[in-house]
Amino acid sequence: MNKHGFTLIEIMVVIVIMGILAAVAVPKLFGNVAKAKVSEVPVAAGAYIKLQDVFLAEKTALGNWSAIGYVAPGNGKTNNFCYNQGTMTENTTTVEQQGESLIGWAASNAATLNDCKAGGWWSLAINVQGSNDAAYNHNVSSNECSALVNGWVLGTTMSGSCESTSVAQKETTGEKPNSEKNPSGEEIKDQGQQGPSQAELDAQKQQEEEKKKAEEMQKQQAAQSAVQAAKEAFNKCTGNTCTKEEKDRLKEAWDNEKEKCKQLYGNAVCKD
């Protein structure tokens, strides 16, 4: 039997083909990975736009993140992006005050994503159209970053370091937005937002304990009822109505119910 192996030329052809496939597939793979990481940006921007539109329709003004109730992914920082509220630092900006390049939302990639270098910017530049309608320009800082997500084009964005330009959100400041302080600098609690009093907490705890006791009592009664039912079934099984095998099965069922009850609640509860 003759054995035929691969020739050197055949092996070289295979290597060349594998190299071509790798040259095509690997960059495409990296591109898909980068696009997957950037996918959080349009979702976060869309949530911001919805909240800003509602605020504008109700207040005839633009609001910063705190005013409109927006919270960025990861409270402002994820594994891939840092978020900030751009140039809109005032709580509200009236339509008359709104400038041409007012940026109300921005995100910057923390690491290089394919050809998009770290520190790139995605920004929403807001242009008010009328008293309660706005257009949002989806801008990026480079064409390489623009290639990663549809609908974002080269335009006015934030610049510099995201961490240094970002405005602290209410979840990270340790202080409630618009909170009042007394002369000593201590925050004055909003009486309408106070938690339950100690008396209310104690009453709630007592109610929970009583509820648990009632549930436990119901379980004990159910176990006792099961024992009694098995006992009655055994006692009703006489020579005229049951065979010996049936009586033995009923006795076994009775014993099993007693054993389960005693294991859970003891002999005092599970009497015959």
pLDDT in tens, 76-132: 899 999 998 888 878 877 776 665 668 999 999 988 888 899 999 999 999 887 777
The CA distance from 116 to 49, in Å, is 25
The CA distance from 239 to 233, in Å, is 13
Percent of the chain with pLDDT over 70: 76
Strand duo 153-154 + 61-63: pairing: unpaired
How is the chain split into domains, by residue range? 38-169, 210-265
pLDDT in tens, 123-146: 999 988 777 788 899 999 999 999
From the list 130, 128, 146, the residue with the least C-alpha distance to 138 is 146
In which band, very low, low, confident or very high, does the pLDDT at 2 lie, cut at 50, 70 and 90?
low
Backbone angles phi and psi of 132, in degrees to 5: -140, 35
DSSP 45-93: HHHHHHHHHHHHHHHSEEE-HHHHT---GGGGB-SSEEEE-TT--SSEE
Rounded mean pLDDT of the chain?
Answer: 76
Q: Is the CB of residue 45 less than 8 Å from the CB of residue 105?
A: yes
pLDDT in tens, 155-205: 888 887 776 554 433 333 334 444 444 544 444 444 444 566 777 677 778
CATH topology of domain 38-169: Glycoprotein, Type 4 Pilin (3.30.700)
